[in-house]
Amino acid sequence: MFNLLNVFFAFVMFGILVLLGRLVKQKVKLFQILYLPESIIAGVIALLLGPGVLGAIAVTLGTPPDSYWAGGMFPETMRTVWSQSPGVFINIVFAALFLGEHIPNPKDIWRKTAPQVAFGQTIAWGQYTIGILVVMLVLTPVFGVNPIAGALIEIGFEGGHGTAAGMSETLAKLDFPEGGDLALGLATVGIVCGILFGTLLAHWGRTKGYVQARLTSVSTGDAQFQETAPTESSRVLARRRQLMDNLLIDPLSLNLGFTGLAVVIGWLILQLLRSIESLAWGRDGLELIGAIPLFPMALIGGIIIQLIMKQLDLDCLIIRRLQERIAGVALDIVVVTALASINLTVIGANMGVFLSLAIIGIVWNVLAFVYLAPRILPVYWFERGIGDMGQSMGVTATGILLIRMVDADNSTGAFESFAYKQLFFEPIVGGGLFTAAAPALIVEFGSVSVLLLATGLLAFWLIFGMINCQRTKQKLVAEQITAESRTPVMNSSE
């Protein structure tokens, strides 16, 4: 057990670790070249100073297993707080995802971003297809691994550290406790390899002439600190000043309240779904909703809050930049504490499974970008596709970073297309409803059923993307011919 003071010092130490991560990144040039986030470095430092490395070395040197140093530099109460933090703070990350965002008409968004959605969904469902297939045919017969492992590539790569940490409790409930550590390890490999391979592919794309955007250098600092929130209009600022006049509360506290309200709405939705399940198919022992964590529902709660505030003309009170900061701090907490809590013994005991899933996932993502992106994305395929590849191997921020590497001025519109795609993407995969439900579906219906479903959806999005790409290209050619026919021809005498 621990008290509030233990929690306080656990997060004080988190802050110190982040500062230490920043210092290490400034001193190690390789980390700067790889654009490794400070939270990743801080989490690895905490892991090295914890019981898995420093504690193991101390025990090897003769320290009694029940002594303080057998647990590393951090007391047990602090490690307990950290182990519980990822599953809590991931709800904040997802609740803030769409708060303060303009949510246009879905039909208009779909017309603009359908190719991007098709490519992103193709990568995601491909991760399920190859993951489940390899686990069924190789890893389970050879290593005896739990069939749920077939979902780990998508959870770790597409979902990232936050989703992997948030799913740990669910995986433990489904008798696959080592799955959380494996997913976190895959997320770490994914984000490093995503940036590494993304950087190499960006150089290859420029060499081959695939990059059509204007070449503009982007520094590490620019890529890291450039805001993704749009500049607010004078009308919005004036309306906000009017509403907040005589309001004695910090805007950050107010926006934290909106984030908390989104989590509460998500919790109520989840409780309602669980009640429906218990009265319907749950009577026969089939449990799906009960295995779904809170965070995908918190995302839906955030969308509901945003739409309601828009209808009430109060949406200007939700400040997107503050929501990004709230989500950013929460995500840093998730990453640092999740990495600090990884059980290295579990990964070592499952090294064959871990390496197999990591290599297969990386190969699929890179090949999908190189061979499928040109056939699904009709214009600027390289700039738009590399963002999805980065996201599918790490986090959304990795995708944004890779887009900025090849299109720093956003001259191709790749960033807008990538951002709007999330409305049709995040609620389903990459930490969405299917990501949360996939392990339970494998347990309840078997790997073959989920494999057939994933393969069918992979085929659907692949075929749709290719057909849509051809139609869009034909439409663009027709529009170009029409425009040229309307252009007056200059007389030779002129």
Domain boundary among 29, 46, 74: 74
Residue 318 is predicted with a pLDDT of 86
Q: Has residue 493 got a pLDDT over 50?
A: no
For residue 396, pLDDT beyond 90: no
Q: Does residue 210 sit within a domain?
A: yes
Residue 376 lies in a domain: yes
Q: Does 441 map to a domain? A: yes
Kindly tell me if the per-residue pLDDT of 438 is higher than 50.
yes
pLDDT band at residue 282 under the 50/70/90 scheme: low
- 19 lies in the same domain as 95: no
Is position 411 within any domain?
A: yes
Domain co-membership, 384 together with 249 = yes
The residue among 327, 313, 138, 338 whose CA lies nearest residue 243 is: 313
Q: Is the pLDDT of residue 23 over 80?
A: yes
Q: Is 38 helix (H, G, I), strand (E, B) or coil?
A: helix
| 80 located within any domain | no
Q: How far is CA 282 from CA 279, 381, 443, in A?
A: 6, 45, 15
| Residue ranges making up the domain that contains 353 | 88-479
* Same domain flag for 271 and 147: yes
The pLDDT score that the predictor gives to residue 11 is 92
pLDDT at 455: 96
- 284 and 315 co-located in one domain: yes
Are 394 and 246 in the same domain?
Answer: yes
Per-residue pLDDT tens for 94-110?
788 788 877 767 777 77
- Residue 399 amino acid letter: G
Q: Are residues 16 and 119 in the same domain?
A: no
Higher-pLDDT residue of 370, 435 = 370
Residue where one domain finishes, among candidates 42, 74, 106? 74
- Whether 183 and 155 have beta carbons less than 8 Å apart is answered as yes
Looking at the fold, whether 444 and 400 belong to one and the same domain comes out as yes
Looking at the domain assignment, is residue 255 inside a domain?
Answer: yes
Q: Is 80 exceeded by the pLDDT of residue 45?
A: yes
Tell me if 144 is assigned to some domain: yes
DSSP character for 2? Answer: -
Is residue 149 predicted with pLDDT exceeding 90? yes
How sure is the predictor about 229, in pLDDT bands with cuts at 50, 70 and 90? Answer: low
Residue for token pair 């009170």: 317
Query: Across residues 373-379, what is the average pLDDT?
Result: 91
Mean pLDDT over 367-375 rounds to: 94
Q: Is the pLDDT of residue 406 over 70?
A: yes
Residues 172 and 62 in one domain: no
User: Are 161 and 195 found together in one domain?
Assistant: yes
Write down the H helix ranges in 341-446. Answer: 344-349, 351-367, 373-376, 381-391, 396-406, 414-425, 433-445
Query: Of the residues 74, 103, 131, which one is the last residue of a structural domain?
Result: 74
Average pLDDT over residues 312-335: 85
**Which of 191-195, 289-293, 390-394 has the least mean pLDDT?**
289-293
Reply yes or no on whether the pLDDT at 272 is more than 60: yes
Q: Quick one: pLDDT at residue 97?
A: 79
CA-to-CA dists, residue 13 to 52, 128, 491, angstroms? 18, 37, 76
CA–CA dist 294, 456 (Å, integer)? 28
Query: Mean pLDDT throughout 427-456?
Result: 88
**What band does 20 get if pLDDT is binned at 50, 70 and 90?**
very high
Distance CA(331)–CA(394), nearest Å, equals 13
- Pick the closest to residue 140 from 346, 343, 357 (CA basis): 357
Name the nearest CA neighbour of 341 among 1, 150, 71: 71
Asked whether the beta carbons of 126 and 388 are under 8 A apart, the reply is: no
248 or 82, higher pLDDT: 82
37 vs 376 pLDDT, higher one: 376
**pLDDT band at residue 43 using 50, 70 and 90 as cut-offs:** confident
pLDDT digits (tens, 9 = 90+) for 294-313: 877 888 898 899 999 888 88
- Say whether both 139 and 223 belong to one domain: yes
Residue 337 lies in a domain: yes
Q: Above 60 in pLDDT, residue 117? A: yes
92/57 same-domain check: no
User: Higher pLDDT residue, 414 or 398?
Assistant: 414
Answer yes or no: do 268 and 406 share one domain.
Answer: yes
Tell me the pLDDT tens digit for each residue of 194-225: 877 887 888 888 888 888 865 444 444 444 43
**Which of 28-32, 287-291, 393-397, 466-470 is least confident?**
287-291
**Mean of the pLDDT values across residues 174-193?**
85
Structure tokens at 127: 């991760």
Task: Provide, rounded to the nearest whole percent, the portion of the chain with pLDDT above 70.
Answer: 85
Task: State how many domains the chain has.
Answer: 2
